[in-house]
Amino acid sequence: MRSLGKLKTLLLLGMALPAVAMSQARAADVEVLHWWTSGGEAAAIGVLKEQLAEQGVGWTDFAVAGGAGSSALTVLKSRILAGNPPTAAQMLAQAVREWGQEGLLTTLDEVAAENDWDGILPEAIQNIAKFDGSYVAVPVNIHRSNYIWSNSKVLAEHGLSIPTTWDEVFAVGEALRKAGVVPIAHGGQPWQEAMLFENILISVDGGPETYRRLFVERDATAVENPAFAEALDIFRRLKSLMDPNFAGRDWNLATGMVITGEAAMQFMGDNAKGEFVAANLKPGVDYACTPLPNTQDDFLFYTDSFAMFEATNEESKKAQQIMAKTILEPIFQEAFNLRKGSIPVNQKVSLEKFDSCALNSREGLEAAAAQNTLMPSFAISMAVPPAVEGAMFDALTNYFNNDSVTVDEVKAGFVNALRQ
C-alpha cells in the first residue's frame, strides 16, 4: 500500500484535477469507466446495465469517447491519482498489466474459482486476464482483427466477388475505382493503420511466424524476414484503393461508408459488425465478413476486459463480485456479444443465436489455437507495452502516409521501438 500513500502525496500537491465530477457512487452501485460510445457498442453496454439492475446493483455511467480508449485511460489516470478510482474500468491487456504492476487492482480469484473461469476461458485469454497468477480482470468478449467487411450489393452490382488473394484485392479494387466506388474505406488514425498492417503481415508467406517473433516474443531480428518487407509493400500499395479523405477518420465512419455503399470494403476487426447490426443489416445478405486472404485459420484477437480497483467498503466489493460474475454468465455473454459483434469469451456459451460471422470467428479461433496462430493484436494494445506500441505506430503511420519513407527506415524504427 506504499504506492497508495505516494498517490495521496501527489493529491496533496494538487496534481491531476479530474476532468469529471468526483461524485462518490452510492454504496452497492458500480461506477464503470468505458469507451463504448458508438451505436452498436452503446447498445451492448446497456445490456450489462440491465442485468446488474435486476440484481439490485445500480449503474453510474462514466463513458469517455475515443477509439481504442486512449482518452479514457488518460481520464482514468487522473481519477486514480486523485485517490478516487471508479469501481471498474474497461481495459486492454497492456493496461491491465501496467495497473497490475502498480498494485492497484483487486484480485478476483474467489469469483473465478467459484465460476470455473479456468475451465471456460481459452488459455490465451486467461493469460491476459491474470497478473502474477491471479485474476485481476474479467474478459468480456473475443474480437478478431483479420476481417474484410464488404457491401454485398455493391460488389454484386459490379459483378465482382469478395477477393481471396492479394492479386484479386487489387483487381477488384481497380474495377470498383473505375466504377466510381471507393474500393476500401479507411480511417487514417495510427491504430487503424497498424491494424491494417498486422493483418497483412499474417496473410503473407512466413507472416504468422514473423508476427509471433516480433510482437509476442519481441525479437527485433524478425524484421529481416522477407515477410515483413512484403507486408509493407502491400500495405502502401493499398493506399491507391482508398479515397483521399481518410486522414483522421474514425473507424465507425469508415464502416458507415461501407454500410451506405459509398465504399465497398473495409479492413477492420469485428467491432465493425456492431455497426452493421445497429443498421439492421444481415450478414451473408447485405454484407459479408471474410478473413483477409490466406488467414482463415489464423486469428489475431483482442478482448475487452473490466479490471476492478481495490474497493474500500464491503458493499462495493460485493457489487464488484456481482458484476464480475454477471459478465461471464451465458445470458449476458450472449446478449452482449450479439450486439457488440464479437464472440463470447466463455467457450461454454452456445452460438445458436449467432450469425455466420460469429460462427466463422469461433471456427477460426479453434483452428488457430490448434496450429498456434491465435495471437494477440498489437494494434489494439494486446501485445506490447504502450511505449513500444507508440514507437511502432509512429514508424508504420509515417511509412504509410509519406511515400518517401523506405522499408529500411521502418525496420530501424521497429528495432528502436523494441529497445524501449
Partner 1 sequence: MPFANSNKGVAATAATSLPASTNRYLGWSERWLPKLSLFPTLLVSGTAIYVFIVWTGVLSFTGSRMLPRYNFVGFDSYRAMFATERFGVAATNIVIYASLYIAISLALGLLLAILLDQKVRGEGLLRMIFLFPMSLSLIVTGVVWRWIFNPGLGLEKFAYDMGFVDFKLDWIINPSLAIYTLVIAAIWQSSGFVMVLMLAGLRGVDGSIIRAAQIDGASMPYIYWKIVLPLLAPVIFSATVILGHLAIKNFDLVVAMTNGGPGYATDMPATFMYAYSFERSQIAVGAASSIIMLGVATLLLVPYLYIQIRRGR
For partner 1, the binding residue among 351, 386, 407, 415 (CB under 8 A) is: 386
Residues 70-129 that bind partner 1 (CB under 8 A): 70, 73-74, 77, 81, 98, 102
Q: Which of 160, 161, 149 is nearest to 185 (CA)?
A: 149
Q: Is 310 in the site for partner 1 (CB under 8 A)?
A: no
Per-residue binding string, partner 1, 239-278, x by CB under 8 A, is: ----xxx-xx------------------------------
Collapsing DSSP to helix, strand or coil, 318 comes out as: helix
Contact in structure between 301 and 146 (CB atoms under 8 Å): no
**DSSP β-bridge partners for residue 184:** 242, 265
Q: Is 372 in the site for partner 1 (CB under 8 A)?
A: no
Buried-state track 75-112, b at ≥16 Cβ within 10 A, e below 16: bbeebbbbebbbbbbbbbbbbbbebbeeebbbbbeebb
Q: How far is the CB of 361 from partner 1 (least distance, A)?
A: 29
Q: Which three cell numbers stand for residue 339?
A: 450486439
Strand 141-144 with 299-302, pairing? antiparallel
Q: Which three cell numbers stand for residue 171?
A: 483487381
Distance CA 238, CA 246 (A): 13
Q: How far is the CB of 47 from partner 1 (least distance, A)?
A: 30
Q: How far is the CB of 398 from partner 1 (least distance, A)?
A: 4
Contact in structure between 349 and 368 (CB atoms under 8 Å): no
Q: Is 189 in the site for partner 1 (CB under 8 A)?
A: yes
Q: How far is the CB of 401 from partner 1 (least distance, A)?
A: 4
Q: Which three cell numbers stand for residue 139?
A: 474478459
For partner 1, the binding residue among 12, 13, 21, 285 (CB under 8 A) is: 13
Q: Which three cell numbers stand for residue 125?
A: 485469454
CB nearer to partner 1: pick between 48 and 258? 258
Distance CA 42, CA 308 (A): 21
Per-residue binding string, partner 1, 274-303, x by CB under 8 A, is: ------------------------------
Q: Which residues bind partner 1 (CB under 8 A)?
A: 3, 7, 10, 13-15, 70, 73-74, 77, 81, 98, 102, 188-190, 243-245, 247-248, 385-387, 389-391, 394, 397-398, 400-402, 413, 416, 420
